[in-house]
C-alpha cells in the first residue's frame, strides 16, 4: 500500500502525527503537500483534497490520508484506522478503543495549546489578541498544562509498561512524543518547571527519539521544524517571561 498524505507544506501541525506513524512503520508514503506544484503538490493539492476531488466524504480540514480508494480525514480517525495496519495499535478491540480515546484527549490538549496564542479567533493575528493571549496562557500554564500532562503521566503509571496504550508501542506514544517536543518549544520555562512531575512522559519522549526509524526521520529534511505558524509557537511573554 502506498499512502498519500495531504497536509500544509510549511508547518508540522496535526499532519506530523500521521508522518510519525508512517515513518516509524517504514511505510511507503508520499507527502503530497511538499511536492513541487509541477508534480501535483503544494498548497493547490491540499485545496483540491478539501474540495472533495479525491472522493468520499469532503474533508473540512487537513490532514487527509488517501489509501487506494479510501480517503480519510481527522487525525484521530486516520490513526485509528492506520494504527492496526502499521502494527502501531493494540491487538484487541478494547485496547484499540482505549488508544482512540487517548488520541482524542491529545486532540483536546492540542486545541487548548493552540488557543494560548489565538484565544479570540484563529482568523486574527496574534498581535490583535495579545492581551487576551497572555491571560489565557497564564491560566493554561498554571492549570491546564499540569492537568493534561498529569493525566498522561497517570496513564503511563497505571500501564506499567512504558507505553500509553498497553503492552505494545503505539501511535499514541508517537503523539505524546510530539506533544512534549512541541511544548518544549512553545513553553520551555513551564516545561522545565514540570519536569520532576512527569518522569514517565520524559522517558517516553526519549524512548521515541531513540527509535531507529524515528531518529533517522528526525535527522532528515523530511522533519519540519516547529515555527511561528503552527500549533506550537514560542512567545516568551506567554511562557511567564516579563510578566
Each residue's pLDDT tens digit, 80-116: 999 999 999 999 999 999 999 999 999 999 999 999 9
Number of domains the chain contains: 2
**Domain C-terminal end among 60, 85, 110:** 85
Do 41 and 136 fall into the same domain?
Answer: no
pLDDT score recorded for residue 242: 47
- Host domain of residue 19: 2-85
**Domain C-terminal end among 85, 106, 132:** 85
Give the mean pLDDT of 141-169.
97
pLDDT score recorded for residue 191: 97
Q: What band does 55 get if pLDDT is binned at 50, 70 and 90?
A: very high
Do 64 and 98 fall into the same domain?
Answer: no
Do 108 and 37 fall into the same domain?
Answer: no
Burial class (CB in 10 A: 0-12, 13-18, 19+), 8: buried
Q: How far, in Å, CA of 141 to CA of 238, rounded?
A: 9
Pull the grid cell for residue 170. 503505539
Percent of the chain whose pLDDT exceeds 90: 98
Do 45 and 14 fall into the same domain?
Answer: yes
pLDDT score recorded for residue 154: 98
State the CATH number of the domain containing residue 215.
Answer: 1.20.1050.10
pLDDT score recorded for residue 240: 82
pLDDT score recorded for residue 10: 94
Q: How far, in Å, CA of 242 to CA of 133, rounded?
A: 14
Question: Over 80: is that where the pLDDT of 61 sits?
Answer: yes
Q: How far, in Å, CA of 178 to CA of 220, rounded?
A: 16
Do 123 and 148 fall into the same domain?
Answer: yes
Do 25 and 70 fall into the same domain?
Answer: yes
Q: How far, in Å, CA of 19 to CA of 12, rounded?
A: 9
Do 62 and 105 fall into the same domain?
Answer: no
pLDDT in tens, 70-82: 999 999 999 999 9
Mean pLDDT over all residues of the chain? 96
User: What global pTM score does this model have?
Assistant: 0.96
Do 80 and 138 fall into the same domain?
Answer: no
Do 113 and 169 fall into the same domain?
Answer: yes
pLDDT score recorded for residue 241: 63
**Domain C-terminal end among 85, 120, 147:** 85
pLDDT score recorded for residue 110: 98
Do 165 and 81 fall into the same domain?
Answer: no
Do 77 and 127 fall into the same domain?
Answer: no
Question: Under a CB-based contact definition with an 8 Å cutoff, are residues 5 and 19 in contact?
Answer: yes
Burial 41-63 (b: 16+ CB within 10 A, else e): bbeebbeebbeeebeeeebeebb
pLDDT in tens, 160-180: 999 999 999 999 999 999 999
Question: Over 50: is that where the pLDDT of 243 sits?
Answer: no
Question: Over 60: is that where the pLDDT of 121 sits?
Answer: yes
Question: Over 80: is that where the pLDDT of 139 sits?
Answer: yes
pLDDT score recorded for residue 1: 84
Do 110 and 201 fall into the same domain?
Answer: yes
State the CATH number of the domain containing residue 73.
Answer: 3.40.30.10
Amino acid at each position: 500500500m502506498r499512502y498519500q498524505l495531504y497536509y500544509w507544506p510549511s508547518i508540522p501541525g496535526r499532519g506530523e502525527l500521521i508522518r510519525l506513524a508512517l515513518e516509524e512503520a517504514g511505510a511507503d508514503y508520499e507527502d503530497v503537500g511538499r511536492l513541487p506544484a509541477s508534480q501535483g503538490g503544494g498548497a493547490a493539492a491540499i485545496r483540491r483534497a478539501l474540495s472533495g476531488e479525491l472522493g468520499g466524504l469532503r474533508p473540512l480540514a487537513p490532514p487527509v490520508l488517501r489509501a487506494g480508494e479510501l480517503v480519510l480525514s481527522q487525525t484521530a480517525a486516520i490513526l485509528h484506522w492506520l494504527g492496526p495496519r502499521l502494527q502501531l495499535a493494540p491487538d484487541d478491540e478494547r485496547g484499540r478503543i482505549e488508544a482512540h480515546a487517548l488520541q482524542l484527549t491529545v486532540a483536546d490538549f492540542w486545541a487548548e495549546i493552540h488557543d494560548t496564542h489565538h484565544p479570540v479567533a484563529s482568523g486574527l493575528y496574534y498581535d490583535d489578541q495579545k492581551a487576551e493571549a497572555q491571560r489565557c496562557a497564564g491560566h493554561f500554564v498554571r492549570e491546564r498544562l499540569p492537568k493534561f500532562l498529569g493525566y498522561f503521566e497517570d496513564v503511563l503509571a497505571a500501564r506499567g509498561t512504558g507505553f500509553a496504550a498497553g503492552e505494545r508501542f503505539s501511535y499514541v506514544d508517537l503523539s505524546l512524543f510530539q506533544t512534549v517536543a512541541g511544548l518544549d518549544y512553545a513553553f520551555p520555562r513551564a516545561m522545565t518547571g514540570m519536569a520532576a512531575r512527569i518522569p514517565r512522559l520524559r522517558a517516553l519522549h526519549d524512548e521515541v527519539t531513540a527509535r531507529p526509524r524515528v531518529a533517522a526521520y528526525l535527522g532528515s529534511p523530511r522533519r519540519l521544524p516547529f515555527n511561528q505558524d503552527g500549533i506550537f509557537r514560542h512567545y516568551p511573554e506567554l511562557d511567564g517571561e516579563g510578566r
